[in-house]
Amino acid sequence: MLTFCFVLSLSLLSEHYERPLEVAQVPQSELFIDEIAPHAKVIQERHNILPSIILGQAILESDWGQSQLAATYGNLFGIKAYGNTDKVNLGTSEFVDGKWIEIKADFRVYPNWQASMDDHALLFVNGVDWNPNLYQGVIQATTYQEAARALQAAGYATDPNYQEKIIGVIETYNLNKYD
């Protein structure tokens, strides 16, 4: 009987040690947010831009940092390049005359995501050559809904549903908790 108990206990021990160790997997979405949220808070302090808008746009525009533009070229926001600056020419979808088309466009290249976030903030602060106040509605917004409406009104993206998509991402991932 003692031998049987010993063999049984060895059997149970070997089953325990042969099982693969289960490691808790953190979702890619959570890792991405954790990586960029602290810098979004810094930008809020410097420029009064809601972190939820920064995070929502980064998620939507870069596919959680996985797009070629974000992963290889550091551009989280699909910021186009004009003039004499580091750039890469890539394909993109644009909504023109009521339909989606594929085009090639020059996009800014950044050394890292933080530099992309800083440039994105400066775009809102300084606007564009032809309208320095273009994104003032984003900066003046007190809610992410107002900021998303201001982005749509300013024409940040050609997608006619951009405002709803940004709001959807913010609400799905509770990004307004960073505001």
Q: How far is CA 107 from CA 10, 69, 152, in A?
A: 62, 8, 20
Has 97 been annotated as catalytic? no
Query: Which class for 145: exposed (0-12), middle (13-18), buried (19 or more C-beta within 10 A)?
Result: middle
Give the three-class secondary structure for 8.
helix
Residue in 158, 54, 59 with CA at minimum distance from that of residue 105 = 158
- Could you say which of 30, 34, 86, 94 is catalytic? 94
Catalytic residue among 119, 146, 159, 179: 119
With vertex at residue 138, the alpha carbon angle to CA 55 and CA 168, rounded to the nearest 5 degrees, is 45
- The CA distance from 133 to 151, in Å, is 12
Count of CB atoms situated within 10 Å of the CB of 64:
17
Catalytic residue at 119?
Answer: yes
Instruction: State the amino acid at position 53 in one-letter form.
Output: I
Tell me the DSSP string of 48-71.
Answer: ---HHHHHHHHHHHHTTTTSHHHH
> Annotated active-site positions, please?
94, 119
